[in-house]
Amino acid sequence: MSRQLRRLGPGRVEAAGTEYVWYAAYGSNLHHTRLGFYLRGGKPPGGRRTYPGCREPQDPARTEPIMLPGQVYFALESPAWTGGMAFYDPGARGETPARAYLISARQFSDIAAQEMHRPPGVDLDLSGVLAEGRSRMGPGCYETLVCPGSLDGRPVLTFTAPWGMGDVAWRPPAAAYLRWLASGLQVSHAWPAARIAAHLARRPGAAMRWTAAEIAALL
């Protein structure tokens, strides 16, 4: 049985009072164990990259399964996993399952820095993304912040590429990376294996290489 989904509220949230934010994970960080390597540092099983961790390594205060407007697709080449990386296009039609973690703004800044291949330790200026719903922090593939909505009065934030789903060549993800996504959906949304496999097998990029049966076998 799927877990009760929380629906996002309006995206505009005042910058004041954003000591805590919701980080919306749509890739391998759907799994809380994977997120732990961003929080506390280390190298996840199957990965090639060691993470320095956050200034504040504590676990999220809460987690919620959510649906984001838009779609996830796979593209480019992951230096940590090989194969395609997951990206979020908030302008694409449809919805995509994600997991919202209630963390401090400082933790979000440090997680984003690690995704941007920058050293953690600098607080991001969130005023732009909170006001406009989108803010480009740099040219990199995970350097665009997006605020697709709010939850319990706090902003929901994530990061993705500056381009859209149709503007880049798709690429299939590696098995180790796809396994984290699949198991993350299992623990966060409590979807059955068949639903997870069917969902991921339809994602642009994954559909080029993976069948639903092959993805189900990863679980």
> What is the pLDDT of the chain when averaged over all its residues?
93
Give the separation between CA 37 and CA 184, rounded to whole angstroms: 14
pLDDT at position 13: 63
Q: Are strands 134-136 and 144-151 parallel, antiparallel or unpaired?
A: antiparallel
pLDDT at position 183: 97
* CA-wise closest residue to 147 among 187, 111, 100, 204: 100
* Residue 51 per-residue DSSP state: B
pLDDT of 162 strictly over 60? yes
- 90 burial via Cβ count (<10 Å: 0-12, 13-18, 19+): buried
Give the separation between CA 19 and CA 153, rounded to whole angstroms: 12
Report the pLDDT averaged over residues 26-35.
97
- pLDDT classification of 11: cutoffs 50, 70, 90: low
pLDDT at position 17: 59
Instruction: Report the 10 Å Cβ neighbour count for 132.
Output: 12
Q: What global pTM score does this model have?
A: 0.94
Report the pLDDT averaged over residues 167-185.
97
More confident residue, 12 or 54: 54
For the chain, what percentages of helix, strand and coil (3-state, to nearest 5) are there?
A: 30, 25, 45
The pair of structure tokens assigned to 74 is 């796979």
Please name the fold of domain 20-171.
Hypothetical upf0131 protein ytfp (3.10.490)
Give the separation between CA 149 and CA 157, rounded to whole angstroms: 8
Sorted by where each begins, the domain ranges of the chain are 20-171
pLDDT of 167 strictly over 90? yes
Report the pLDDT averaged over residues 91-111.
97
